[in-house]
Amino acid sequence: MVCGSGVTVRSAHARPLAAVLPGASGDDPTLEELVPATTPHEGSEGVRRPQRGRRAGRWILGVLLVLVLGAGTVAVVYLSGLASTFDDSTEKFETAFPAEDQRPTKAPTQEGQHEPLNILLLGSDSGGGSGEREDLPDVPQAGRSDTMMWVHIPGDREDIFVMSVMRDLWVEIPGEGEHKLNAAYSFGGVPKAVQTLESMFGTRIDHVAAVDLEGFRGIVDSLGGVTIDNPRAFSSGNGGKDFAAGPQTMDGDTALAFVRERYAFADGDYSRVRNQQLFLRAVISEVLNTRTLTNPGLISDMVETMSPYLTVDDTLDSGELVEIGRTLTGIRRDDVQMFTVPTKGIGRAGSQSVVWPDWDGIQEIGAALQDDDLARIQPAS
């Protein structure tokens, strides 16, 4: 059923149709299938599988979190020495959350399910964003803000939802009046950005991570490049790259130019957000294939490459990410759902070019988040 807000409410049993990873099939192996379980099964008489399998599984989960929850998405690893590598290499926000009395209540955990989680992914860009013409506020301890993604991991652990949030949304920033969403950093750093988003959706954010897009340069090169099916040809003023329409294999430098560009498009940040989603899907597709998942050395290289470019809240350490990762072993590539926050197009607020929020659609998503039932919503990709 299509609502006036532009989102579709689906039956509780319908599977998400939008924004599944390109090229994914229902026959893809899960992480659990690729990496054998290590705890004894009932009737196994305590026989344990080799420790290498358990460690590899944790690495895989870590890279999944780093790449899905990072820049797209957050975070990490667990493999003996590399747990400390992650914890030692990542930065910690001094303060990531607003005062408790300024926050909504946490969504309840449904009986028989895991705790639902909401993670705010801030894509910072020490390399300059989409060009010198941009004036982006800093994410404290993390560089200039460039991208926002809200990652929702439902209690049933059947999907991971990644919602891109337009940084030029014209919203009420608590205590400051109406401004572009991105201005929240200037008024109160990461806690003010968290407070603004929590007030928009009426839902609590559990963790925050900032990922410098520069970190993906090394990840892409470690993978031997990523293939992106570019929907339309354009030229990037950032790095002087020309992108033809159709599938293209890109190295790290080329991929960063692809995700940074917005001035080549009439709709500006809309196209950049779509390109960022295409890039993230391409990286996930490369990471979640058998060639990568069965190569511990490659996974180790990716974690070591990415960790120095992450800044996280003080509770998001390797131990916490391992606990999250243990609940995600059934995730396949096509279980990662990407969409963009509902909007009503571009306009002007005084002298500023802004994006108008679709408040009906935002409220529907907020209610679904609070009910831990985001699967009932079919937002536009």
Structural domains of the chain, with CATH: 14-39+48-222+290-343+356-373 (3.30.420.590)
Tokens read off for 372: 């831990």
Q: Which long-range contacts (CB under 8 A, 24 or more apart) does 24-27 make?
A: 24/285, 24/332, 24/333, 24/334, 25/334, 26/332, 26/334
Q: Name the β-bridge partners of 179.
A: 171
Where does residue 105 fall: left (phi above 0), alpha (psi -120 to 50 degrees), or beta otherwise? beta
Distance CA 264, CA 235 (A): 7
Distance CA 126, CA 250 (A): 20
- Residue 124 DSSP symbol: E
Question: Quick one: pLDDT at residue 63?
Answer: 44
Question: Quick one: pLDDT at residue 124?
Answer: 65
Q: How far is CA 1 from each of CA 8, 10, 90, 278, rounded to the nearest angstrom?
A: 5, 6, 44, 27
Distance CA 162, CA 44 (A): 39
Any idea what the Cα angle at residue 246 is, between residues 240 and 252, rounded to 5°?
45
Q: What is the pLDDT along the chain (381 residues), one digit of tens a residue?
A: 434 344 444 433 333 323 333 333 344 554 444 433 333 333 333 333 333 333 333 333 344 454 444 332 333 333 445 677 778 888 899 899 999 999 999 999 999 999 999 999 887 665 555 443 344 455 555 444 667 889 999 999 999 898 999 989 999 999 999 999 988 888 888 999 999 999 999 999 999 988 777 777 888 888 899 999 999 999 987 667 999 999 999 999 999 889 888 888 888 788 888 888 888 888 878 877 777 767 777 777 777 787 888 888 999 887 887 788 778 777 777 888 889 999 999 999 999 999 999 999 999 999 999 999 999 986 655
Global pTM reads 0.77
- Give kind and range of the element (H or E) at residue 92: strand 91-92
